[in-house]
Structure 1
């Protein structure tokens, strides 16, 4: 078998491996399958992209200058300060052309920009009662979708508690918001002493990204396990017409005959479910069997 050079890349290794595959009497179909897979152009392109990214990562390129535009202006000013040769005139014309100036401006914008993720700063001052509590700042990105969580006031303390985290919603996908967490701020606005409808309005108005200050709940074993319970609806259900639902926007509408998968029965009154075959990955609230029988 030919020997690869030290600088051989993944796509070269793949090409050499493909050329060495020979049908075997006992595994002919497997060998042909491997050869077809390794010969795919799309796979070779992916290998080349992977190599280029790794090479870029090893080089860790940094800009030589952060202000090329200023340097170009200084050179142009220096050229104009005295008599110019034909080459100097050509260089001056090049440096002052709008196209090159635009390119240098773009270069400076990229060179001066910090591409590391920017996280919201932690508040400098905390309430006295938070001194011994662990506070978590969470930033979620949601694309014109609900947060996927409902809230309730704690009857004893009045604190705003996360009551439910809807399966497949933005909060659930992040893995950062859990049932029992105490909510303190939404986008830097304190929600202490605010009514639930005011807080829900703050949450729904946030587009693109939303920042939450949360006091995590005491860690317990996760009781919300994916359920394999399926049921067929025996009636039509429209959440917007149900005044008993804790959150109409989080309700799951369904029609008689729809097959539903119950993904959480943690709440004895309101289960979380998905319609089988629905492309929407987020679960919704449906009345539980016990609630229907009341």
Structure 2
């Protein structure tokens, strides 16, 4: 059995990871006394006893926790933003390329991707890598997420609100209006972009679920057939062997879900569904995923499975 410790298991992502690990046939969970969660010595002992430790902490705390590990055999998976562009850590999105999957398998330090960044990178990275989209092409991205993406504080805002606040939150709300969202560095870095995208996140009045969209003009593409169907086919070829990324059939009429794309349709899975809509002039790339699944805890457990040489879909 593999000994696993979740440092920060009381948070939204930590709880979800623990739930998935509870049904994992190869895992023995190391538990910390609730009264000792802030005891550095107790945490350090468990971190170094573990074969795999998940860091489900704020950025600064994740860095401090990683520094406590002296056992060279302990593998770390960090769910925070702290190490996503750190060259000493491997970015945990195995579907980007076979080489990336191999890096994850061989690493002892993996940084789990952000939810918005997962959807964006799965859409854009293959197009840039295949020379179909120039890395200096200016891009924009909008991402609609359930309110669980904001953690306990935002969940409380939505679920414990007074009547006036609840009425105000009935519709979707743009946030991150400074255009400096914390996922931007990994989006730019992983896709090899010259410029970060103009990224506008939106929170919706539902618990979980996510739709990430990237619009393109056909003129931005560097391919013989510059149309939506050809982009869809290129992405389908890239992800042909992927277990969790599915490129959906091209729908010229945009009639999926009755013409109203449901952001919650991939909930409770580790899937990222990719759609390509549009025509020969304007194209819309779409990722649909569970922000707590493939966007967080599911991806973390998938990375653990790859690092341990297990079937990547175990307990997923």
Normalised by the length of structure 1, the TM-score is 0.22
Q: Based on CA coordinates, which of the two structures has the bigger radius of gyration?
A: 1
Normalised by the length of structure 2, the TM-score is 0.21
Report 1 or 2 for greater relative contact order, CA contacts < 8 Å, sequence distance ≥ 6.
2
